[in-house]
């Protein structure tokens, strides 16, 4: 690893705090941290999660790498506001759950400047948010999705960096492919879980639940501010998945209401076979 | 425990096999077994899962307790066909995932005979079926739901018996309450999982999935013959849950398509708060 390589972690919430802690734990990089909450920043300094606080705009110029652990609009705004301050040749990355918007805006802003941007989505989280829940092992065994867009300059570094922090698998893809698939694997699961618990019978489930209820309701407790932003920035893809799911559910509902065992069984068989193919 | 108490386990699949094995493991009862598959029956005898095979109808007359580990229609048919052969004063129970149909039919058939029927739904299972996957610890830590209907004669025995086999919690309720809540906690989860994997993007998820995809798709691999029967016997309750879920999902879909952040955020907040109340 390079000597005195400096990493700026912008936003010390669950993800940013965990990045800072993992970098301190698994690399010999210097960590510069920044958070709008002064108590969090002070705690991160006291605990040694960060080596130094980023207080002035120009200080970002010392960072060889900047990790934006912010919501999408904030992340783009940070790039915009620090465009002239970033260290020439340095790498900027993010941790947002959608990629087209962030990568397009970052590339537009960077233009022909000597800066590298690689979109990143660490597939890890907890049912709690904030610095206090951040842990250095958050990424252990998880997948990291990288969307370099047209900028592939630092991709090998990003892969090695991800592995060093504990990610078990690094997937390199396009922003479009990321947003398409993530609408299915993650976003719709959050909508579904959140919609599921709205049945009046959700309040009567104690004692009647095996694994299914737990599985389905697990992610209902979400941060609505963050997810609203993520969902709206992926409207086309998530809208497609929601249409698809509602359409499929209606088929089962109709077969059930029309009391058609063969049709219902065929629908269930199709799903079972698909699941066997997917694994 | 009583001396030479004989239990007949009818159907030695995943659930029946596990009941037989758990009874041999955790009680000193004699287990009589029965299965339409002669190979399974022989294997259960060879492995000591059962002490004796039930070969003739009249032999059920020696059983102090009969556990019907069959699909609902088969379970009712078994009672009908053995009505005059059951031991007077003995207890009959089942393991079906719906309770109104089974309890009503059992009570109708039994009438004023000196027989006890208590509906039972062990909230345990595996993603595989058949005798070969049965294990004595299948019920360890699970919930057992009992629906005695009007017959409460043997309820204390059934509670103690369930605890002895490893169930951590025994819930006593009405068949109606069972079917209402089970449509929400278990049945709709199976429909949903089975419908979810039908998105074309399900085949592209490798590398993009965290816990949500795994949770949501887990029970898609279901036994469509059994679930078709269970769903149709609970048409009203499951139909209600499906209508409810489709309606709620449509609200999120519409807020998303109409690009209304405040409406979407309010929907997500409602779901998050409900989940916090449910726990």
> Using a CB-CB distance cutoff of 8 angstroms, which residues of chain A are in contact with residue B185?
201, 205, 208-210, 212-213
Facing A249 at nearest CB: one of B208, B215, B242: B242
CB of A26 within 8 Å of a chain B CB? The answer is: no
CB interface of B with A, residues 240-259, below 8 Å: 241-246, 248-253, 256-257, 259
Choose, out of B274, B277, B279, the residue to mutate when testing the contact with A (most A CBs < 10 Å): B274
A2 pLDDT higher than 60 = no
For chain A, what are the domain ranges?
A: 6-173, 178-278
CB of B225 within 8 Å of a chain A CB? The answer is: yes
Q: How does pLDDT run across B178-220, given as a tens digit for each residue?
A: 999 999 999 999 999 999 999 999 888 777 777 888 888 888 9
Tokens 């207080």 found at:
A55
Report ipTM for this prediction: 0.91
Least confident of A93-107, A148-162, A233-247, B233-247: A148-162
Minimal CA–CA distance to A174: which of A156, A204, A205, A151?
A151
When pLDDT is averaged across residues A182-194 and rounded to a whole number, the result is 94
Q: How does pLDDT run across A60-97, given as a tens digit for each residue?
A: 999 999 999 999 999 999 999 999 999 999 999 999 99
Output the pLDDT for position A151.
65
Q: Cα–Cα distance between A132 and A12 in angstroms, integer?
A: 9
Neighbour count for residue B93 (Cβ, 10 Å)? 25
Identify the CATH homologous superfamily for domain B6-173.
NAD(P)-binding Rossmann-like Domain (3.40.50.720)
Output the pLDDT for position B99.
97
CATH class for the domain made up of B178-278: mainly alpha
Write the DSSP symbol of residue B20. Answer: H
Q: Cα–Cα distance between B143 and B140 in angstroms, integer?
A: 9
CB of B168 within 8 Å of a chain A CB? The answer is: no
Write the DSSP symbol of residue A55. Answer: -
* Own/partner pairs, B85-89, CB within 8 angstroms, 24+ separation: B85/B57, B85/B58, B85/B60, B85/B61, B86/B60, B86/B61, B86/B113, B86/B115, B87/B60, B87/B61, B87/B62, B87/B63, B88/B113, B88/B114, B88/B115, B89/B114, B89/B115, B89/B116
Q: How does pLDDT run across A266-278, given as a tens digit for each residue?
A: 999 999 999 999 8
β-pair partners for B91: B65, B116
Sheet holding A65-68: strands in order across?
A52-53, A30-34, A6-10, A65-68, A91-94, A116-123, A143-147, A169-172
Question: What are the distances in angstroms from CA B7 to CA B3, B19, B41?
Answer: 12, 10, 16
> Using a CB-CB distance cutoff of 8 angstroms, which residues of chain B are in contact with residue A191?
249, 252
Q: How far is A108 from chain B (nearest CA, A)?
A: 24
3-state DSSP call for residue A162?
Answer: helix
> Using a CB-CB distance cutoff of 8 angstroms, which residues of chain A are in contact with residue B98?
none
Banded model confidence at residue B237, pLDDT cuts 50, 70, 90: very high
Q: How far is B237 from chain A (nearest CA, A)?
A: 10
| B252 neighbors A243 (Cβ within 8 angstroms) | no
A27 pLDDT higher than 90 = yes
> Using a CB-CB distance cutoff of 8 angstroms, which residues of chain B are in contact with residue A127?
none
The number of C-beta contacts closer than 8 angstroms across A and B is 287
Q: Cα–Cα distance between B136 and B167 in angstroms, integer?
A: 12
Least confident of A129-133, A219-223, B2-6, B237-241: B2-6
Output the pLDDT for position A1.
46
Annotate A87-124 with b (16+ C-beta within 10 A) or e (fewer). beebbbbbbbbbbbbbbebbeebbeeeebbbbbbbbbb
Banded model confidence at residue A3, pLDDT cuts 50, 70, 90: low
Q: Is the dihedral of CA A120, A123, A128, A132 positive or negative?
A: negative
Question: Helices marked H in B11-166 — which ranges?
Answer: 14-26, 38-46, 72-82, 100-110, 155-164
Facing B268 at nearest CB: one of A173, A182, A222: A222
Q: How far is B90 from chain A (nearest CA, A)?
A: 27
Q: Which two tokens stand for residue B161?
A: 């018996």
Question: Helices marked H in chain A — which ranges?
Answer: 14-26, 38-46, 72-82, 100-110, 155-164, 175-182, 188-196, 211-217, 224-232, 235-257, 261-278
* Own/partner pairs, B122-126, CB within 8 angstroms, 24+ separation: B122/B15, B122/B95, B122/B162, B122/B167, B123/A208, B123/A209, B123/A210, B123/B186, B124/A210, B124/B15, B124/B18, B125/A210, B125/B14, B125/B15, B126/B14
B175-182 and B235-257 helices, crossing angle to 10°: 30
3-state DSSP call for residue B206?
Answer: coil
Instruction: Report the mean per-residue pLDDT for chain B.
Output: 94
Q: How does pLDDT run across B57-101, given as a tens digit for each residue?
A: 899 999 999 999 999 999 999 999 999 999 999 999 999 999 999
* Closest alpha carbon within chain B to A243: B253
> Using a CB-CB distance cutoff of 8 angstroms, which residues of chain A are in contact with residue B146?
none
CB of B228 within 8 Å of a chain A CB? The answer is: yes
Contact A201 B180 (CB under 8 A): yes
CB of B176 within 8 Å of a chain A CB? The answer is: no
CB of B137 within 8 Å of a chain A CB? The answer is: no
Facing A207 at nearest CB: one of B171, B222, B227: B171
CB of B88 within 8 Å of a chain A CB? The answer is: no
Rg of chain B over all Cα atoms, to the nearest angstrom: 21
Q: Which two tokens stand for residue B124?
A: 């345990």
Choose, out of B97, B175, B189, the residue to mutate when testing the contact with A (most A CBs < 10 Å): B189
A235-257 and A188-196 helices, crossing angle to 10°: 50
Output the pLDDT for position A238.
98
B1 pLDDT higher than 50 = no
Q: Cα–Cα distance between A170 and A162 in angstroms, integer?
A: 7
Facing B248 at nearest CB: one of A195, A222, A265: A195
* Closest alpha carbon within chain B to A180: B201
Q: How far is B138 from chain A (nearest CA, A)?
A: 12
Tokens 């990610």 found at:
A167
Q: How does pLDDT run across B132-153, given as a tens digit for each residue?
A: 999 999 999 999 999 997 767 7
* Closest alpha carbon within chain A to B221: A272
* Closest alpha carbon within chain B to A204: B181
Q: Cα–Cα distance between A207 and B182 in angstroms, integer?
A: 10
Tokens 């999982």 found at:
B193
Banded model confidence at residue A229, pLDDT cuts 50, 70, 90: very high
Q: How does pLDDT run across A89-131, given as a tens digit for each residue?
A: 999 999 999 999 999 999 999 999 999 999 999 998 877 889 9
């Amino acid at each position: 690893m390079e000597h005195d390589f400096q990493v700026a972690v912008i936003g010390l919430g669950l993800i940013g705090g965990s990045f800072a802690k993992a970098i301190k734990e698994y690399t010999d990089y210097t960590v510069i941290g920044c958070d709008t909450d002064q108590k969090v920043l002070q705690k991160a300094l006291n605990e040694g999660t960060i080596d130094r606080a980023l207080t002035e705009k120009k200080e970002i110029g010392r960072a060889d790498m900047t990790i934006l652990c912010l919501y999408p609009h904030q992340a783009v705004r940070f790039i915009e506001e620090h465009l002239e301050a970033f260290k020439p040749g340095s790498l900027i990355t993010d941790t947002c759950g959608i990629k087209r918007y962030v990568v397009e805006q970052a590339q537009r802003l960077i233009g022909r400047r000597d800066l590298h941007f690689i979109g990143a989505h660490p597939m890890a989280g907890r049912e709690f948010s904030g610095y206090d829940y951040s842990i250095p092992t958050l990424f252990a065994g998880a997948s990291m999705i990288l969307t370099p867009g047209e900028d592939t300059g630092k991709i090998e570094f990003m892969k090695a960096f991800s592995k060093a922090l504990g990610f078990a698998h690094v997937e390199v893809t396009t922003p479009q492919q990321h947003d398409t698939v993530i609408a299915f694997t993650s976003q719709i699961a959050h909508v579904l879980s959140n919609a599921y618990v709205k049945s009046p019978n959700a309040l009567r489930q104690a004692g009647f639940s095996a694994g299914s209820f737990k599985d389905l309701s697990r992610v209902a407790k979400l941060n609505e501010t963050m997810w609203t932003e993520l969902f709206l920035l992926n409207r086309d893809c998530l809208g497609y998945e929601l249409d698809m799911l509602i359409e499929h559910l209606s088929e089962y509902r109709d077969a059930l209401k029309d009391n058609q065992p063969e049709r219902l069984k065929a629908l269930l068989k199709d799903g079972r076979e698909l699941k066997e193919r997917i694994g």
